[in-house]
Every structure is written in structure tokens, then in C-alpha cells.
């Protein structure tokens, strides 16, 4: 990895208070001392050069529980790279120098290209090199959960380049719906070589993919899509159509291909849309403009129009929504994983800062009320890692019917709850850094990036309400050949039975809500108005049972005391006195 150059490179700054670099009259002025006010004291060192894996006990314990066979050495190496100061500089540069769109070349021809800073390519190359995209699909059991751990570490370095990484990971199962395309593309999707050149797949070392569902008139309600697909001919890749229409959000437009939805004669269908066609010509995907986003700056998100673009049917005509949701469910997993990683990153920054910053005569971390805030952040962060990794472990066992049911329930639950808590946690972690947390600068400026990224994970790929409503859909489909989701959930929660009376009461009440709904009044108990409350309660119950299994008792106990009584989690920093603050903080310290 090449070290980026920049005037703010760590180590390249002038000494802040030494005299050696000051010469001539300035030095004289300083020696006189009359007007010298620039003394820098009580500021913290940057959090850099630490190993994101080695210093994350919560992640390691959860990983060991779900995948004892995971390759620790690979994760240690990735953890070191993710904490490296040179990589942190890449992350800053890729966000400061935003991507720029070139719709036309200087002769007036359409070019539809996006130019990125070299640091963007360095970061995306590192993520692909680590196999965080489609690589796990061609590996054995444990690969998905190991990848999940890597994804959670990478996002702490830089989350926006993970957008194309996540979409490339998610596309594989859905793409199997067109066997001929899959045969030509799957090896290149799994390749760990990043190749940003615009060429046909056959000439590339590796490829990435994106997705296009959202249109101006609706994103959640994709059935309102207006893009039209007209059948053209049968080819080596199956049924080929021309697409006419637009997409309102189309991220990573420099990807090699996309799965998109369009209205075919038999209804909304899923299509494979490559940027370069088999004859080497460029497909008719016109990038209209890039979105001016709140965060996620290093990644380009665009608006596009298709004016007769060629695309190939994936799955059956009219079955586009379930087909593309095979992809959507995996990007939802990544929203939960990404947020859990960012929560860990924010918590680590808060712990690091407060361990060095003094106020009122001692380090902030020793002030009792700050201890309460920090311990609460640490509990939330560990609970998020536990839930997100539990979902990833279900992806790892595709042939296990019980895990299929857990995947169905936990996908909307984890996406909803982890993302909701992530935004709140980022605000509180930022506040631990005081004013420095709010400043866009190298080092603690990472906090601002985390804060801006959090709402995105909650909005895209199904915002909070859509996730809560999806949980209702899953719960209403009781029974069936695959088994019963409520029975599966009860079995999952049963693994922690007897460990904590609060958790037992909470889990029992939850399960009887489902049974009551089934016994009296059909599904009336599972109504839309209460869907968020239900999603929250399922998340809390599963988090409790997971922490029982792979977190120390002091953390499990504090989770149950603070999250399972009353009306759910409160503002951070309201843990009861009986909690073992010091042990929780010690466990979460990033060094
Ligand atoms: C940075 C960024 C990148 C993106 N990249 C892509 C991409 O690459 N490809 C792509 O296809 N999309 C992409 N999206 C779009 C994203 O997936 C949508 O914005 C999202 O699905 C919501 O759709 P919408 O914006 O149309 O909002 P709407 O569908 O109008 O929803 C607005 C709100 O209403 C709520 N709502 C909707 N229906 C109901 C209901 N029945 N009951 C209660 N509440 C409801 C939603 O939860 C949401 O909070 C991206 C978005 C962002 C911000």
C-alpha cells in the first residue's frame, strides 16, 4: 500500500510548542514572551496505530462463539491495517476530495464517468483485496462471519467505499437467477483484484456491482417503478430487453454492472445491466448528476437515465421484487454490520479521548457521570455487534432450516434496531469529545464522518418503518414447510433461559404476545401501529440472549438491568448504580 502524501500527514506537522523551527524575529518575539499565547495543553493524541481486531474484545468473543474456526491471523493483519495512520489519511483524503462527474468529453460526446481521488481507489482496493465483497461465496463455512468481522473493522476506517463492496457481496445469490450471466461473472466477482478500468468483463481482473430500484416517485414502494423493459431478442445471456426510464438513487455508478427493476409485460422484473456490452460498446446509462449528500462523501451516488439500455432478465418476468430482495436482504445485513462497526469506532474514540482529557482535576473517564455514559455506550456497542454477527452467522448456514427462519426474523430486526441506536450513540459519543468531536479535522474528525454516516444506514435499503413492517410480514406467516418463525424465535431465546429473571420475563411476554395474537383475533395483535415497538423488543430479547452466551456476566447483567425493564432503553448515561462500570469500560478500551 502506497503511503499517501499530504501536508497533514501524521508526523509531517511542525512541532506545536518547540523552539527549533522558529527562527529570526519570530523566535525573538517568543523569547520576550509578552504576547505568546499559543500553549497547547490537555489535548489528546490521535487514536492511530492500534489494531482494530486485537483491541476489540466484544468482536473477538462474539466471533469465537459463532465461528471458532475463523482465521485469527488474517483478522489480526486486517485489524492492523485498518488502524494504520497512512490508511486513516487515505480515508480523510477520499472524503475531502469528493468524486466528480464528467457527463461529456471536451468534444461534446457523452462520457458518463466519475473521477475519484487516488485514495478512494486505494481504499476500495484494500477492501476488495481483503475479500470483503463476493469472495465468501466461493469459500467454506465460516467465511461469511469472518467477512462480517472484517467489514465491521473496515467501516471504522472508512464507510463510504463499502457501498460498492456491500452491493457486490449481496448480488451473488440473486445473480444465480440467470445461469449464463452468473457463469461469466461469478469468478470476476469473487476475485480479490480491484480493477477500476471500464472494460468488458472478459478483459477485467475483477468486477463490482450495484443496484437500481429507487425512482423519483418512490423508493419503499418499488412497485410504483415506471422504467419500462421491452423484449428485444434471445441471446447467449438469455432474454435481452431494452430499458427506458430512470433511477433516482444509483450509487457507485462506476460499477461494472447493476441489478435493476423495470416493468416488463408480465410485471415488475429484475434485470442485469452491464456498463460495457458484450460487443465492447458502452451501454446507454446516462449519469445526470451526482447527489450532494450529507455524508458518505467518498462514494458517488447518482441519478441516471436509461435510453434504450440493454439488460438481461434475471429470474422470472413479473417476479422482480423477490428476486432483487435476495440482494436487498444481504445489503440490509451490511447496514447492521456497518452500523455496529461504526458504533464500536465511536465508542473507541470516546474512551480514548476521555482517558487522556482532564477536567476538574482528573481524566474525564474517572468522573463518575462520564463513567456512566461511557459504560452505557460500551454496552450498546457490544449488543449491536452481537446482534449483527448473529445475523451474519445465519447467512453462513444456508441449508439449515432453523437458521433460515432466524435470517427471516433477524434481518429486519437488526437493520431496524442497530441503525436506530447507531445514530443516537454517535451523538453521545461525539459529545464525550466536547467541541473537538464536532470539528471536521484529521484525527477526531473521524467522529463527524461517523455521525453523518449513521442515518444513511438507517434510510437506504428499507428505512425504519419498512423494516418494522417487514418483521410483521415475517411473523404473520406462521407455520409452513420451513417451520414456524415464532417457534424458532422462542427456541433462540430459550438458550438463555434461567440466566436472568428480567430476561426471562421479557422473553416470555414477547412470545405470549405472538401466541395471543394467533389465538384471539388472528393477527390483530401484530398491528402496524405497534410494529416499531415489536421490532425493538425482539431485538432487545435476542441481544440479551446473545450477551448471556458470549459476554461476561457483568456486561450481560448491566444490559438486562438497563434495557429490559421500564419502557426500554433511555438516554445514555442512566445506568443504575449497581452496574460494574469499571469492568465494562476496561473491556471496551481500545488500548
Ligand atoms: C446515499 C444514498 C444512496 C442510495 N443508493 C441507492 C442505490 O444505489 N440504489 C437504490 O435503488 N436506492 C438507493 N438509495 C435509495 C434508498 O434506498 C431510498 O431512499 C429508501 O429506500 C427510501 O425510499 P424513498 O427515498 O423513496 O422514501 P419513501 O419511500 O418516500 O419513504 C419515506 C419514509 O416513509 C416511510 N414509509 C414508506 N412507506 C411506509 C408505510 N407503508 N408505512 C409507514 N411508513 C412508510 C419510510 O420508512 C421512510 O421513512 C440510496 C439512498 C441514499 C440516501
Q: Ligand 1 mean position to 214 CA, how many Å?
A: 7
Q: Ligand 1 mean position to 216 CA, how many Å?
A: 10
Q: Ligand 1 mean position to 185 CA, how many Å?
A: 29
Q: What is the pLDDT of residues 140-184, one digit of tens each?
A: 888 999 999 999 999 999 999 999 999 999 999 999 999 999 999
Closest atom of ligand 1 to 456 CA is 53
What per-residue confidence (pLDDT) applies to 24?
Answer: 43
Q: Which three cell numbers stand for residue 75?
A: 483478522
CB 212 within 8 A of CB 250: yes
Q: Ligand 1 mean position to 221 CA, how many Å?
A: 8
What CA–CA distance (Å, rounded) separates 135 from 78? Answer: 15
Give me the percent of the chain exceeding a pLDDT of 70: 92
Residue 287, H or E segment = strand 285-290
Residue nearest to atom 37 of ligand 1 (CA): 220
Residue nearest to atom 43 of ligand 1 (CA): 465
- Confidence bin at 566 (pLDDT 50/70/90): confident
Q: What is the pLDDT of residues 248-260, one digit of tens each?
A: 999 999 999 999 9
Question: Residue 519: pLDDT above 70?
Answer: no
Closest atom of ligand 1 to 220 CA is 29
Q: What is the pLDDT of residues 504-514, one digit of tens each?
A: 999 999 999 88
Q: What is the pLDDT of residues 189-201, one digit of tens each?
A: 999 999 999 999 9
Closest atom of ligand 1 to 459 CA is 20
| C-alpha atoms less than 13 angstroms from C-alpha of 321 in its C-beta half-sphere | 10
Q: Ligand 1 mean position to 484 CA, how many Å?
A: 30
209-212 and 257-264 strand pairing:
parallel
463-490 in b/e burial notation, b at 16+ Cβ within 10 A? bbebbbbbbbebbeeeeeeeebbbebbb
Residue nearest to atom 52 of ligand 1 (CA): 460
What per-residue confidence (pLDDT) applies to 524?
Answer: 52
Question: Residue 4: pLDDT above 80?
Answer: no
CB 553 within 8 A of CB 503: no
CB 541 within 8 A of CB 506: yes
Q: Which of 249, 329, 462, 464 to mutate to test the pocket of ligand 1 (most atoms within 8 A of CB)?
A: 249
503-530 in b/e burial notation, b at 16+ Cβ within 10 A? bbebbeebbebbeebbeeeeeebbeeee
Closest atom of ligand 1 to 462 CA is 21
Q: Ligand 1 mean position to 412 CA, how many Å?
A: 15
- Confidence bin at 6 (pLDDT 50/70/90): very low
What per-residue confidence (pLDDT) applies to 32?
Answer: 58
Q: Which of 214, 452, 532 to mutate to test the pocket of ligand 1 (most atoms within 8 A of CB)?
A: 214
Would the pTM count as exceeding 0.75?
yes
Closest atom of ligand 1 to 293 CA is 1
Q: Ligand 1 mean position to 211 CA, how many Å?
A: 14
Question: Residue 454: pLDDT above 90?
Answer: yes
Q: For the ranges 207-211, 294-298, 384-388, 484-488, which has the lowest average pLDDT?
A: 484-488
- Among candidates 561, 552, 568, which has minimal Cα distance to 424? 568
What per-residue confidence (pLDDT) applies to 13?
Answer: 41
Q: Which three cell numbers stand for residue 509?
A: 411476554
Residue nearest to atom 35 of ligand 1 (CA): 465
Q: Ligand 1 mean position to 247 CA, how many Å?
A: 12
Q: Ligand 1 mean position to 517 CA, how many Å?
A: 30
Q: Ligand 1 mean position to 471 CA, how many Å?
A: 17
Question: Residue 120: pLDDT above 90?
Answer: yes
Residues with CB under 6 A from ligand 1: 210-214, 218-221, 249-251, 293, 296, 301, 456, 459-466
Q: What is the pLDDT of residues 85-99, one digit of tens each?
A: 999 999 999 999 999
Q: From residue 361, how far is each of 375, 480, 581, 585 by CA, in Å? A: 21, 64, 20, 20
Q: What is the pLDDT of residues 121-130, one digit of tens each?
A: 999 999 999 9
Q: Which of 463, 469, 527, 529 to mutate to test the pocket of ligand 1 (most atoms within 8 A of CB)?
A: 463
* HEC profile of 291-322: CCCCCCCCCCEEEEEEEEEEEEEECCCCCHHH
Residues 203, 204, 205, CA angle at the centre, nearest 5°?
130
Q: Ligand 1 mean position to 250 CA, how many Å?
A: 12
Count, residues in the chain: 591
Closest atom of ligand 1 to 467 CA is 47
Q: Ligand 1 mean position to 464 CA, how many Å?
A: 10
Contacts of 183 (CB under 8 A, 6+ apart): none
**Across 340-358, average pLDDT:** 98
Amino acid at each position: 500500500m502506497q503511503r499517501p502524501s499530504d501536508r497533514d500527514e501524521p508526523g509531517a506537522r511542525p512541532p506545536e510548542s518547540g523552539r527549533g523551527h522558529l527562527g529570526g524575529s519570530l523566535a525573538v518575539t517568543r523569547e520576550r514572551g509578552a504576547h505568546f499565547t499559543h500553549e497547547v495543553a490537555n489535548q489528546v493524541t490521535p487514536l492511530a496505530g492500534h489494531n482494530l481486531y486485537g483491541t476489540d474484545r466484544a468482536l473477538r468473543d462474539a466471533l469465537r462463539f459463532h465461528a471458532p474456526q475463523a482465521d485469527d491471523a488474517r483478522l489480526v493483519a486486517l485489524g492492523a491495517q485498518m488502524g494504520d495512520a497512512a490508511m486513516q489519511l487515505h480515508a480523510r483524503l477520499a472524503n475531502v476530495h469528493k468524486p466528480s462527474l464528467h457527463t461529456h468529453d471536451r468534444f461534446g460526446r457523452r462520457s458518463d464517468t466519475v473521477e475519484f481521488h487516488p485514495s478512494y481507489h486505494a481504499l476500495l482496493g484494500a477492501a476488495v483485496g481483503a475479500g470483503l465483497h463476493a469472495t465468501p461465496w466461493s469459500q467454506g463455512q465460516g467465511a461469511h462471519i469472518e467477512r462480517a468481522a472484517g467489514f465491521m473493522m473496515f467501516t471504522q476506517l472508512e464507510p463510504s467505499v463499502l457501498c460498492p463492496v456491500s452491493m457486490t457481496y449481496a448480488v451473488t445469490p440473486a445473480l444465480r437467477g440467470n445461469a449464463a450471466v452468473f457463469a461469466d461473472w461469478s469468478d470476476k466477482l469473487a476475485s480479490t483484484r480491484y480493477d477500476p478500468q471500464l472494460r468488458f468483463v472478459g478483459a477485467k481482473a475483477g468486477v463490482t456491482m450495484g443496484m437500481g430500484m429507487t425512482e423519483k416517485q418512490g423508493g419503499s414502494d418499488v412497485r410504483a417503478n415506471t422504467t419500462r423493459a421491452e423484449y428485444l431478442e434471445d441471446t447467449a445471456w438469455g432474454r435481452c430487453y431494452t430499458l427506458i426510464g430512470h433511477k433516482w438513487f444509483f450509487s457507485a455508478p462506476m460499477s461494472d454492472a447493476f441489478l435493476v427493476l423495470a416493468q416488463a409485460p408480465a410485471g415488475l422484473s429484475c434485470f442485469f445491466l452491464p456498463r460495457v456490452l458484450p460487443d465492447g460498446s458502452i451501454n446507454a446509462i446516462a449519469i445526470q448528476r451526482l447527489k450532494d449528500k450529507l455524508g458518505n462523501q467518498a462514494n458517488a451516488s447518482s441519478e441516471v437515465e436509461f435510453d434504450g439500455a440493454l439488460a438481461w432478465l434475471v429470474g422470472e418476468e413479473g417476479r422482480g421484487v423477490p428476486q432483487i430482495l435476495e440482494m436487498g436482504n444481504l445489503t440490509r445485513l451490511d447496514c447492521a454490520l456497518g452500523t455496529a462497526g461504526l458504533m464500536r469506532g465511536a465508542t473507541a474514540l470516546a474512551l480514548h479521548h476521555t482517558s487522556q482529557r482532564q477536567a476538574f482535576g482528573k481524566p474525564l473517564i474517572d468522573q463518575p457521570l462520564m463513567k456512566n455514559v461511557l459504560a452505557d455506550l460500551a454496552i450498546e456497542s457490544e449488543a449491536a455487534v452481537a446482534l449483527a454477527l448473529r445475523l451474519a452467522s445465519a447467512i453462513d448456514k444456508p441449508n439449515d432450516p432453523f437458521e433460515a427462519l432466524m435470517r427471516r426474523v433477524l434481518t429486519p430486526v437488526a437493520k431496524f434496531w442497530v441503525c436506530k441506536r447507531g445514530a443516537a450513540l454517535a451523538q453521545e459519543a461525539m459529545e464525550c469529545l466536547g467541541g473537538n468531536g464536532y470539528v471536521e479535522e484529521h484525527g477526531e474528525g473521524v467522529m463527524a464522518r461517523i455521525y453523518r454516516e449513521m442515518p444513511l444506514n438507517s434510510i437506504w435499503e428499507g428505512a425504519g418503518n419498512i423494516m418494522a413492517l417487514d418483521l410483521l410480514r415475517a411473523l404473520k406467516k406462521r407455520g409452513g414447510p420451513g417451520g414456524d418463525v415464532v417457534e424458532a424465535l422462542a427456541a433462540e431465546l430459550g438458550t438463555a433461559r434461567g440466566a436472568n429473571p428480567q430476561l426471562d420475563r421479557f422473553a416470555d411476554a414477547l412470545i405470549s404476545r405472538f401466541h395471543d395474537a394467533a389465538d384471539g383475533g388472528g393477527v390483530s395483535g401484530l398491528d402496524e401501529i405497534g410494529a416499531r415497538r415489536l421490532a425493538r423488543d425482539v431485538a432487545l430479547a435476542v441481544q440479551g440472549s446473545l450477551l448471556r452466551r458470549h459476554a461476561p456476566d457483568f456486561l450481560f447483567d448491566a444490559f438486562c438491568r438497563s434495557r429490559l425493564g421500564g419502557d426500554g432503553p433511555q438516554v445514555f448515561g442512566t445506568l443504575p448504580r449497581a452496574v460494574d462500570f469499571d469492568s465494562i469500560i476496561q473491556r471496551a478500551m481500545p488500548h
